[in-house]
Amino acid sequence: MILKYTLKTAITGLRTNKSRSVLTVLGIVIGITAIMLIASLGKGAQNLILDQIQGMGTKTVIVLPGRQPKGASDSAQMFTDSLKEKDLEALMKKSNAPTIAKVMPVVFGADTAVYGSETYRMTIFGASPMISEIFDLDVDKGEFFTDEDVKSLADVAVIGANIKDELFGSSDAVGQRIKIKNRTFRIVGTMPKKGQVSFFNFDDIAIIPYTTTQQYILGVKYYQRLIIQADSEANIKRTVKDVTTTLRNNHDITDPEKDDFHIETQEDIASRLSVVTDVLTMFLIAVAAISLIVGGIGIMNIMLVSVTERTREIGLRKAVGATEKDVLYQFLLESVLLTGTGGAIGIFLGATLSFLISLILSNVVGLSWEFIFPLSATLIGLFVSGMVGLVFGLYPARQAARKSPMEALRYE
């Protein structure tokens, strides 16, 4: 039989049972829509996260204590005290690392701020004024502490919006004094609401000179991070190399296996996060794929009903010369057409929905969310929906093809 007529026959077959066809295909539509949504939103979320990381600046290199962890559970080496003041001094020497523009040591911890009868549990960030540049932080009242304050171990703090609101309400915080570990700190600046940046919520953070934090709050001599800014993006590799050499010299390390520090660039973090979001997206798609299997079983069910219902038609077609193959193809095509149409509708719905969601996320929620049309999910979706029709249509179609024409014609 000519394909065109097989197609026409299949379409006619589906149209005579319009509402049933629509209901049957719903499972496929939902499955493909879900896959499209997940793929599009997953990619969008990934881009958003990557954007935020890039927000720290692509010239930034971070030195962490301990060797590079070898796996998710290999954390023992991460908490060492290997980064010390002499490392900072060595890195600041132009002869060691000429491409380094700035180095900022960071220590952090959590403690309670007390103001009168109010208390607030906050994160303390021991840093230098350079932090405002790296994380793009501003003060809306007062000003940032200075490098002088760092040198003199000044008891000054810049606080995030939540801390200010909790402790001071609507009154002015700048110039007020709070107590941390029974030591009095003067608030020199407050930051406007900023929300999550990279891994930190700066609204809950108090920034204090790292020297003060080490000495009076944490009581440690080491740094938890050294954040380094290279003089240009092109020099990142050179900087990483110089930092490695300098620190190894400083720590008397000859065997790279025994490194007690490791270095992360923005690129490293981005690629590691991409793996996480990719795995998450794949997992969600796998879950959505289950709905396709359920949908496929629905298709098989209905096709079986349809084959039984149209037994006489099958008998007639065989009587006028249809071969088993002709009948097989007719019913297979019907089921592929059904799921293929479902897939196409799902792709359209999924794309439209994720576009609408991205509009809401960027315009209403205010994220810098970008709509991504998941081309690969579209192609996979079309292919998979067709395959579902083929696989789940095969059994009913074979049932139809094998009917004896005589018995089919006698069927009541």
Partner 1 sequence: MKIIEVKNLEKIYGEGDARTTALDGVTFDIKKGEFVAIMGPSGSGKSTLLHVLGFLDKHTGGEYYFEGKKIESYTEDDLAKLRNNKMGFVFQAFNLLPRTTVLENVKLPLLYSDIPESKWDALALEAIDSVGLTHRLSHEPSQLSGGEKQRVAIARALILNPSVIFADEPTGNLDSKSGQIVMQTLQRLNEEHGNTIILITHETYTAEHATRIIKLHDGKIVTDEAVKHRLKATQFIK
Interface ranges with partner 1 (CB under 8 A): 1-2, 5, 9, 12, 16, 312-313, 315-326, 404-406, 409
Of 2 and 72, nearer to partner 1 (C-beta) is 2
CB 217 within 8 A of CB 180: yes
Rg (C-alpha) for the chain, rounded Å, is 33
Q: Are 131 and 137 in contact (CB under 8 A)?
A: yes
> Smallest gap, in angstroms, from Cβ of residue 2 to partner 1?
7
User: Based on CB atoms, which residue is closest to partner 1, 12 or 75?
Assistant: 12
The C-alpha atoms of residue 375 and residue 373 are separated, in whole angstroms, by 6
Do residues 175 and 186 lie in contact, with contact meaning Cβ atoms separated by under 8 Å? yes
- 188 or 328: CB nearest partner 1: 328
CB closer to partner 1, 112 vs 323: 323
Strand partners of residue 159: 190, 206
Angle of CA points 301, 393, 293, to nearest 5°:
65
Decide whether 7 or 270 has the Cβ nearer to partner 1: 7
3-state helix, strand, coil in the chain (%, to 5): 60, 15, 25
Which residue number, 184 or 404, has a Cβ lying nearer to partner 1?
A: 404
d(CA 177, CA 184): 6
CB of 271 to partner 1, least distance (A): 58
Amino acid letter, residue 98:
P
Sequence-distant (6+) residues with CB within 8 A of 107 are 126, 210, 213, 214, 218, 220, 222, 223, 224, 225
Least Å from the CB of residue 355 to partner 1: 38
Alpha-carbon span 114 to 320, nearest angstrom: 93
Please report which helix (H) or strand (E) contains residue 37, including its range. Answer: helix 18-54
**Closest separation between CB of residue 404 and partner 1, Å?**
7
Tokens 């059904």 identify what position? 338
- Three-state DSSP state, 198: coil
Instruction: Collect all residues with Cβ–Cβ distance below 8 Å to 155 and sequence separation of at least 6.
Output: 183, 184, 185, 186, 212, 216
Amino acid sitting at position 140: D
Q: Is the CB of 86 or the CB of 402 nearer to partner 1?
A: 402
Smallest gap from residue 379 Cβ to partner 1 (A): 33
H or E element in which residue 114 lies = strand 100-115
Smallest gap, in angstroms, from Cβ of residue 316 to partner 1? 5
The token pair that represents 155 in the structure block = 């008891």
Provide the minimum distance between the beta carbon of 308 and partner 1 in the complex, in angstroms, as a whole number: 16
- We find the least distance from the C-beta atom of residue 25 to partner 1, in angstroms, to be 20
Q: Return the number of the residue (6 or 215) whose C-beta is nearest partner 1.
A: 6
Q: How far is CA 143 from CA 150, 189, 218, 267, 369, in A?
A: 14, 5, 24, 32, 32
| Minimum separation from the CB atom of position 405 to partner 1 (A) | 5
- Partnered with residue 61 across adjacent β-strands are 228, 265
* Structure token pair of residue 36: 């499209």
Q: Minimum CB separation from partner 1 for residue 323, in Å?
A: 4
Which lies closer to partner 1 via its Cβ, residue 177 or residue 402?
Answer: 402
* CB nearer partner 1, residue 202 or residue 331: 331
